[in-house]
Amino acid sequence: MNQNNQSIQNQRSLPVEENPCTVVLGVTGSIAAYKSVDLVSRLRRSGVDVQVVMTDNAARLVAPLTFLTISRNPVVDSLWNMPRWEPGHIALAEKSQLLVIAPATANIIGKLAGGIADDALSTFALAHRGPLLIAPAMNPRMWSNPTVQENCRVLRRRGARFLGPDSGSVACAGGEVTGGGRMSEPESITRAVLASLYMMEHSSGKSGGKRHVLVTAGPTYEPLDPVRFLGNRSSGRMGYALAECAVAAGHDVTLISGPAGLPPPLGARVVRVNTAREMEEAVIRQFVVSDALFMAAAVADFRPAESADRKIKKEKGCEEERVSLNLTPTVDILRSLSEIKKTSQRVVGFAAETDNLEKHALAKLRDKKLDWLAVNDVSRQDIGFDSEENEVTLFSSTGDKETIAKASKLAVASRIVAKTLKD
């Protein structure tokens, strides 16, 4: 057995101060431009160098000085006031890794689709050669217009990725209306941007092509009565990060999530479940049409043998009385999948252990016929449940062993996705 024990040293945040990643944020004339200030702030706190390019209409809504203050970089809002002698759109295109347009109006989407360059942003976009992320924001009627939708299809075929839009209240001249067209929230866009940068960092030029990827996340809740349940401390963050990175890598992603108070990953289909039985049914239904599964959910091992129809009350005067629960095992989903798994499918399991990590990992890897198993030590307070960071060791069925050092869960997820789906 080939034991390749390699430790990957991940940085705590994405870039280092001496060589930060550069993201160009295009801001257009939607009222949602105010959200872009928060987006710049979040990206800056993540260590990203943000360069803002604004349209003239955007500058009428949010002053360029606001973005200069938050980004700490000069703001480009015209082709005619470049701070240096070289053509600004070319110089910026040469140093940027990613172009994000948020908010993106119907106007800029049409310009991008038609190759029009008549202002600073559209001119830069034609010179940009890296990935393009677009976060639309417009009136629901405009978003549903056939011409707008056709322009979006054109851009998708060229490789652009759309972040949203969401459904909700949208500010219009006649008051607020509800429907599709609301710009996605800055928190979700930030995570999509970081996931894209991480996956670009790990790209080796080799790709197994677009896959149907299934990810599970979060805890399950097993009801005792209409009020109480048996659950666990899983936050779902690791599974959501895996879904975000798989989307960023260009895969078709379905996320099956137990109860988790997290925003859905942009670009992933989300199936909501509560119990282990619901998780089992959803996973089996989706697994048969999937190429890969990341089983990151913390599915309950036991559930109450019976669930009461009404709230179980504590009788007055019986404070010393003990109550016993009759528990029954839940189905081991990964073990059951081993009976229907095709040789072409990849299955990555996750195990939260408190002791003898390698011994337990190798046993689970063999027992459940997994291709990979990621193990973390939840006895550690800095990487356990509810933590923003993680550290895992990957074991493969071929004998490889690789430690992914402590980093944000998004950074760790990007390493796992890149490693397990690389060819």
- Cite the beta strand spans of 306-388 per DSSP E: 327-329, 346-353, 372-377
Q: Which residues contact 168 (CB under 8 A, 6 or more apart)?
A: 178, 182
3-state secondary structure of 392: strand
CA distances from 82 to 62, 71, 74, 91, 118 (A): 20, 17, 10, 11, 15
Determine the Cα–Cα distance for residues 368 and 120; give it in Å rounded to an integer: 55
**Which residue, 231, 207, 225, 191, is CA-closest to 417?**
207
**Which residue, 296, 328, 308, is CA-closest to 215?**
296
Q: How do 269-272 and 222-223 pair as beta strands?
A: unpaired
Are 12 and 407 in contact by the 8 Å Cβ rule? The answer is: yes
CA distances from 99 to 19, 132, 247, 409 (A): 18, 5, 17, 24
**Which structure tokens are listed for 218?**
């979060």
318 is catalytic: no
3-state secondary structure of 135: strand
Cis peptide before 165 (omega within 30 of 0): yes
Check the CA dihedral 13-133-72-127 and report its sign.
positive
**Which structure tokens are listed for 92?**
């910026």
DSSP class of residue 102 equals E
Catalytic residue among 21, 152, 172, 318: 172
**Kind plus residue range of the DSSP H or E element containing 23:** strand 22-27
> Kindly report the CA angle at 162 between 16 and 25, in degrees rounded to 5?
40
**Which residue, 230, 344, 249, 350, is CA-closest to 298?**
350
Write out the catalytic residue numbers: 172
